[in-house]
Amino acid sequence: MSNETLLDRLRSELGADAVVTDVDVMATYSRDQMPLAPAGTPLAVVLPEDVDGVRATVRACAAARVPVVPRGAGSGLSGGANAVDGCVVLVTTKLDEIVEIDPDNRLAVVQPGVVNQDLRDAVAKHGLFYPPDPSSYDWCTIGGNLATNAGGLCCVKYGVTSDFVLGLEVVLADGSLLRTGRRTVKGVAGYDLTKLFVGSEGTLGVITEATLALRPLPQAPATLVAAFPSAPAAGVAVSRIVREGLVPSLMEIMDTATVDAVSNYLRTDLGTERGTLLLCQSDTGGERASAELSAVERICSEAGAEMTYHTDDLAEGDLLMRARRVTLLALESMGSCMTDDVCVPRTRIADLITGCERIAEEVGLTVAVVGHAGDGNMHPTVVYDASSEGEFERAKRAFDAILELGLSLGGTVTGEHGVGKFKQEWLAREIGPVGLDVHRRIKRALDPQNLFNPGSMFSL
Amino acid sequence: MSNETLLDRLRSELGADAVVTDVDVMATYSRDQMPLAPAGTPLAVVLPEDVDGVRATVRACAAARVPVVPRGAGSGLSGGANAVDGCVVLVTTKLDEIVEIDPDNRLAVVQPGVVNQDLRDAVAKHGLFYPPDPSSYDWCTIGGNLATNAGGLCCVKYGVTSDFVLGLEVVLADGSLLRTGRRTVKGVAGYDLTKLFVGSEGTLGVITEATLALRPLPQAPATLVAAFPSAPAAGVAVSRIVREGLVPSLMEIMDTATVDAVSNYLRTDLGTERGTLLLCQSDTGGERASAELSAVERICSEAGAEMTYHTDDLAEGDLLMRARRVTLLALESMGSCMTDDVCVPRTRIADLITGCERIAEEVGLTVAVVGHAGDGNMHPTVVYDASSEGEFERAKRAFDAILELGLSLGGTVTGEHGVGKFKQEWLAREIGPVGLDVHRRIKRALDPQNLFNPGSMFSL
């Protein structure tokens, strides 16, 4: 089938408006938020409005042997949704219906184009809560969250996206429709195909519906901040908080470089000059939250915190959290940023931070570490001058050295952003030849033509 | 390779003691605890002592084209570990080392032959807790728990086995060694192979090591019992408990037939004559547990409970729990038992119980429903006279009607026991032709020779 024939078929099956070939419009659908990943030029961008449109698109592309790159809102940070040359970008944002909210079974059935925040708002009206909260929650879609197994600040207490997926509807490479999982909270009938598709980054199929577990709406958060003289002291506190079984609803760490950047940006004193900040929240409400944060406070003090403070006042808590929220803005005000995503065992967080200090010194650039201390998922960010090729090279060297460091600490090369079109070689290093071979076997079994997102995550 | 050559090779590589061909001894390794599932006669039973022994066994069997049936302690309830004719039963009980306990990262690394209770006891010494608690916890092995994704009473609060698996080491069909997952609590590098192998019932590989997440040891449980005049009233209470976000550490339901059987067996009054019992525990300790159970008690009363009682006295709680614990003994004192395993949405528990009453009437046999109300996983048990062929047929008809009912209520044909060599047709019905085709593709991709547990779960 020629490209023109394919486009004609798509237009006739989905309607002309659903098939975009305008170069400028296509460009806005060809990249996600990771500037370092390669992106190609698509043949077309297709925006089906329902599952039949998705199936028609997949069948037409399979017949024409044109690759399909599934895409949500494009908020990804791995190039996973980036176009490859000559592909059809299949955008799921128009499948944006919340099909059902079942409060008594605490679940929702949604289409992939539903924006994370819209789901959160809709279920909140029933006193329910959808925890996964990637930082792009106000514009990313559930489909992208599922494809990347998105995390967020909630993970320390609530887990990641896959922990909330009961079942999926997926369009496979031959256009057939697979239903995985179920509406019950337990079930062991067959392989766990649901979890195989979650996090598969659009390489195995196109998710067209998901059944998601919900939780009761938590209480408004109480917030604690603790300032430590050093990363190791903060690391000791984190280990002990985990060890004692305290489960804050948020536990973020900011290293000295981050604290400096944010202090300058906000022109304010964050309670420490050359120290490390730990921010914790409890969403259990009232006396219980107060007791939880008091226990955290005690541990922080015993671990050497110079300053601790906690409040159940929402506005004040928000002010304390502001330091964390503006981190990327503060760093971007200093130059271009390469944000890494490594996850290490929680006892190695301090080693990662001190390792990043060493790397920063070696390359002569700022490396600011901010991260989800509760689960060891750290986002060291290298700041560099994009107009200097030398700085870019050094930044890239630091970025890679951080991944190397993460692996050497028993960690993973991606805690929540994914592999996409950017970390394929790192995935291969982390999982080894047998692991890679198993990935390829599964990919070939489900997508023998290599239709979906070819070259992403790994090459066949 | 002839069978004799294979046996010689196994003896030479693993030692003669590791290769059992005595017919009587082999018989003890040829069945699990599900009497209704078929079992064949193995060529040999092999008990390797380490991962190299497992790899040598798999390689030798692959070369001889002799099927391998992996097996733990044999406590399964689906025939999943039952021998097929001419196979090698690969028993993992001698790989029984707890390799590591890492309290600060709250994880343990174990071999598959470790008994569930031994792991629980070992981590308890560090103040830690491994929640999955199938009823055979004092003799089942972690390997079997992983293969079947075992559940238990803990699930309502803590989830199932797969929720505690961070990573695996697996011997594949070609004898190569796959490592999945990681030691970190988060990570999205590649497909979730860990969750693919958990619950795959020995059809994809032999698990030789697992990295398991642990939790802090909970407090001693406080216990509540509530007696309702009818299953629907108890069902309303369960829905409301879930709806309000209360998370007891245990929530079990016993229907009228169960209450009758247990009352007669224990020769005691369980607080209700023709009613439904709900048993709940809280393991949060002290005032919090008391507050939780008081909230549950209020909901039960509002839903029409005739009697509620709760206690934080351990011995008294144990006495209350005794009714639940002796259920199977009580039913077995009345005849042979066929125990089903369906999981329905929590709002449909009462419908399942009343449906079972109807089925019992139709076949003229006792059907007693006991189950994990907190997650909708019900175990209706049909009591029959095994010496009567007519009763067996009727019991089997009731058993199947219950599965049918479970599916019609939006449930699954197995909540925690698995498919094994017993529910293959039911699996096919539940997941449909596309789902089955995907299972077959994955199986062929990873085990092209159909070496592992052929015919279990589904046929190629």
pLDDT in tens, B246-268: 999 999 999 999 999 999 999 98
Residues A194 and A248 in one domain: no
Say what the pLDDT of residue B225 is. 96
Report the gap between the CA of A383 and the closest CA in chain B (Å): 24
State mean pLDDT over A243-268: 94
Say what the pLDDT of residue A143 is. 98
Structure tokens at A298: 């005690």
Report the gap between the CA of A110 and the closest CA in chain B (Å): 17
Farthest-apart Cα atoms in chain A, separation: 71
Among B275, B297, B329, the domain-final residue is: B329
- Does the beta-carbon distance from A442 to B444 stay under 8 Å? no
Q: Does residue B84 form part of some domain? A: yes
State mean pLDDT over A29-39: 95
Say what the pLDDT of residue B270 is. 77
Question: What does the pLDDT look like over A36-50, one tens digit per residue?
Answer: 999 999 999 999 999
Write the single-letter amino acid at A162.
S
Q: Domain containing B436: what range?
A: 335-446
Say what the pLDDT of residue A123 is. 98
Say what the pLDDT of residue B12 is. 98
3-state SS class at A138: coil
Here the CATH number for the domain that contains residue B57 is: 3.30.43.10
Structure tokens at B280: 């709940």
State mean pLDDT over A232-241: 95
Residues A37 and A159 in one domain: no
Closest of B382, B197, B218 to residue B289, by C-alpha: B218
Residues A382 and A252 in one domain: yes
- Does the beta-carbon distance from A186 to B376 stay under 8 Å? yes
Residues B293 and B324 in one domain: yes
Write the single-letter amino acid at B32.
D
Say what the pLDDT of residue A392 is. 96
Percent of chain B with pLDDT over 90: 95
Among B216, B239, B264, the domain-final residue is: B216
Q: Does residue B298 form part of some domain? A: yes
Query: How far is it, in rounded angstroms, from Cα A265 to Cα A316?
Result: 19
Residues B248 and B206 in one domain: no
The separation between the first and the last C-alpha atoms of chain B, rounded to the nearest angstrom, is: 24
State mean pLDDT over B406-417: 97
Say what the pLDDT of residue A67 is. 98
A23, with CB counted inside 10 A (0-12, 13-18, 19+), is exposed
Residues B273 and B374 in one domain: no
Write phi, then psi, for A210 (nearest 5 degrees). -140, 140
Place of tokens 């084209």: B65
Say what the pLDDT of residue B1 is. 84
Q: Does residue A267 form part of some domain? A: yes
In this model, does residue A291 exceed pLDDT 80?
yes
Provide the pLDDT confidence category of residue B411 given band limits of 50, 70 and 90.
very high
Measure CB to CB from residue A188 to each of B105, B149, B426 and give the nearest one: B149
Say what the pLDDT of residue A268 is. 86
> How far are the Cα atoms of B369, B371, B398 from residue B337, in angstroms, in the given order?
12, 15, 12
CA gyration radius for chain A? 23
Chain A residues whose CB is inside 8 A of the B190 CB are 419, 427, 430-431, 435, 439, 457-458
Measure CB to CB from residue A242 to each of B106, B377, B412 and give the nearest one: B106
Say what the pLDDT of residue A276 is. 95
Element (H, E) at B338: strand B336-339
Average pLDDT in chain A: 96
Here the CATH number for the domain that contains residue A179 is: 3.30.465.10
Q: Does residue A451 form part of some domain? A: no
Residues A74 and A125 in one domain: no
Provide the pLDDT confidence category of residue B83 given band limits of 50, 70 and 90.
very high
State mean pLDDT over B414-418: 97
Here the CATH number for the domain that contains residue B248 is: 3.30.70.2190
3-state SS class at A258: helix
Residues B204 and B226 in one domain: no
Query: How far is it, in rounded angstroms, from Cα B436 to Cα B439?
Result: 5
Contact yes or no for B96/B111 (Cβ under 8 A): yes
Measure CB to CB from residue B445 to each of A163, A195, A445 and give the nearest one: A445
Q: By mean pLDDT, which of A400-414, B33-47, B266-280 is the weakest?
A: B266-280
Percent of chain A with pLDDT over 70: 100
Q: Does residue A426 form part of some domain? A: no
Beta strands at B44-46 and B88-91: parallel, antiparallel or unpaired: parallel
Say what the pLDDT of residue B228 is. 96
Report the gap between the CA of B233 and the closest CA in chain A (Å): 15
B285, with CB counted inside 10 A (0-12, 13-18, 19+), is middle
Average pLDDT in chain B: 96
Residues A119 and A246 in one domain: no
Question: What does the pLDDT look like over B329-381, one tens digit per residue?
Answer: 999 999 999 999 999 999 999 999 999 999 999 999 999 999 999 999 999 99
Percent of chain B with pLDDT over 70: 100
Residues B283 and B352 in one domain: no
Q: Does residue A26 form part of some domain? A: yes
Say what the pLDDT of residue A313 is. 95
In this model, does residue A439 exceed pLDDT 80?
yes
In this model, does residue A213 exceed pLDDT 90?
yes
Residues A156 and A259 in one domain: no
Provide the pLDDT confidence category of residue A274 given band limits of 50, 70 and 90.
confident
- Does the beta-carbon distance from A187 to B444 stay under 8 Å? no
3-state SS class at B66: coil
Query: How far is it, in rounded angstroms, from Cα B278 to Cα B255?
Result: 9
The residue count of chain A comes to 460
Q: Does residue B453 form part of some domain? A: no
In this model, does residue B238 exceed pLDDT 90?
yes
Which residue of chain B is at minimal alpha-carbon distance from A418?
A: B188
**Domain tally, chain A:** 3
Chain B residues whose CB is inside 8 A of the A346 CB are 104-105, 185
Here the CATH number for the domain that contains residue B368 is: 3.30.70.2740
In this model, does residue A154 exceed pLDDT 90?
no
Residues B322 and B351 in one domain: no
Q: Does residue A446 form part of some domain? A: no
In this model, does residue A78 exceed pLDDT 90?
yes
Provide the pLDDT confidence category of residue A7 given band limits of 50, 70 and 90.
very high
In this model, does residue B157 exceed pLDDT 80?
yes
- Does the beta-carbon distance from A184 to B216 stay under 8 Å? no
Element (H, E) at A279: strand A276-282
Chain B residues whose CB is inside 8 A of the A177 CB are 434
Here the CATH number for the domain that contains residue A285 is: 3.40.462.10
Measure CB to CB from residue A411 to each of B148, B184, B437 and give the nearest one: B184
